[in-house]
Amino acid sequence: MKEKIINEILNNTCKLIKYKTIKNEFKEFDKAYDFIKKELKNYNIKEYIINNYKNLVISNTKENTLDIIFCAHLDVVPATSYSPRSLRW
């Protein structure tokens, strides 16, 4: 079970980093945003627009009383090339 979860996280991460969510690439951002919503559709998702930017709050409960918060962003800096690989430790 643990190996399955790790593989799922690695596979989704590899898919997610293929989106070119650099400055002014709004279509790519929308694709990444939709990918995240689709992959996490079984969780509680609230969507907000703040300063014309889309935001998601995804939780495993319907309440706002959370024990842990994981914050992330989708915008990245340009890279000349990148090939994802798995590192096991």
pLDDT digits (tens, 9 = 90+) for 36-71: 999 989 888 889 999 888 888 888 888 877 767 777
Nearest-5° Cα angle at 47, 50 to 57: 95
What's the mean per-residue pLDDT of the chain?
83
Q: What pLDDT, on a 0 to 100 scale, did the predictor assign at position 28?
A: 92
Block residue for tokens 């915008």: 75
pLDDT, residue 38, reads 94
Phi, psi of 82 (to 5 degrees): -155, 135
Q: DSSP H helical segments within the chain, as ranges?
A: 2-16, 26-39
Write the DSSP symbol of residue 60.
S
